Amino acid sequence: MIPLSYYLILSGIVFLTGVVGVLLRRNIIIILLSVELMLNATNINFVAFSQYFHDVAGQVFVFFALTVAAAEVAVGLAIIIALYRAKSTINIDELQLLKW
């Protein structure tokens, strides 16, 4: 049986990669992809704990996280399309309307 800490380390690495991607990249689509990485890292944690504690509730929560991820992608990509139509760019350095 693989120790639980291996799964936690893997999930930590993936989550950290997602955080760095959100902070580092300027393409707004890559930022959304990095958010997906972070969601998947938490899902790995949920499933690993669900297996180790023999409780199926963790897998149910992964199911709900999947729903939220699908909704987030639909709305996020719609916002990106609206943004591109208005500004003709998806580079976040050029989207500074809220900056003062």
Partner 1 sequence: MELAFFIYFAGVIAATSVLVVATRNPIYSAIALLIMFFHVAGLYVTLHAEFLAAVQIIVYAGAILVLYLFVVMLLNLRQDDRYHRQWPIAAAVGVTLVVEALILTVMKGWTTPVVAAGTETTVGGTSNAGAIGDVLYSTYLFPFEVASLILLVATIGAIMLAKKDIGGDEPQINIQHSEPQ
Kindly identify the residues of this chain, within the stretch 2-41, that bind partner 1 according to CB under 8 A: 2-6, 9-10, 12-14, 16-21, 23-27, 29-30, 32-34, 36-37, 40
Q: Does 95 bind partner 1 (CB under 8 A)?
A: no
Q: State in angstroms the smallest separation of the CB of 39 from partner 1.
A: 9
Residues 1, 52: Cα–Cα separation, whole Å: 10
Hey, what long-range contacts does 34-38 have (CB within 8 A, 24 or more apart)? 35/72, 36/69, 36/73, 38/14
Is the distance from CB of 28 to CB of 84 less than 8 angstroms?
A: no
Residue 100 CB, shortest distance to partner 1, in Å, is 18
- Footprint of partner 1 on residues 32-91 (CB under 8 A)? 32-34, 36-37, 40, 43-44, 47-48, 50-57, 59-60, 62-64, 66-75, 77-82, 84-86, 88, 90-91
Give the shortest CB-52-to-partner 1 separation in angstroms.
Answer: 6
DSSP string over 65-87? HHHHHHHHHHHHHHHHHHHHHHH
